[in-house]
Amino acid sequence: MKKHGILNSEITKVLADLGHTDTIVIADCGLPIPAHVKKIDLALELGKPSFKEVLKLLQAEMVIEKVTIASEMKEKNPDLFSQMNDEFQSIEQVSHQDFKAQTKDATAIIRTGEATPYANIILHAGVIF
């Protein structure tokens, strides 16, 4: 049994298999998930686990080269938008429609219990060298 970090075996496997530029999505509980993309459903109830909790854990375990968010986050969820700007140097903003289209190419989508607007992010894998 692992004694540190993420204990969820599905997430651990996805992280171990990532290559440069592969993507993982952290999604709120309302984001549509394409049928062919691996869904790791962590949602227990509204708000649990939160988007921020899951993001913090993945940041500790994954090399993140850049992130993609919906441009609507700036207006509809300004606190989260501000936090994303504080935490990430390379942020791509796209329309929510384009964001949903990009999720079709994700390695996996991790569904949280988050219930605030546009609390979704695409994490683009970097390399450790």
27 is in an annotated binding site: no
Q: Is 30 in a helix, a strand, or coil?
A: coil
20 is annotated as an active-site residue: yes
Catalytic option among 4, 20, 36, 124: 20
41 is in an annotated binding site: no
Question: What span, in angstroms and rounded, lies between the C-alpha atoms of 41 and 112?
Answer: 7
Question: What span, in angstroms and rounded, lies between the C-alpha atoms of 128 and 29?
Answer: 31
119 is in an annotated binding site: yes
What the block records as the tokens of 37 is: 């993309």
Q: Binding site: residue ranges?
A: 28, 96, 118-120
**Which parts are annotated binding residues for substrate?**
28, 96, 118-120
Active site residues: 20
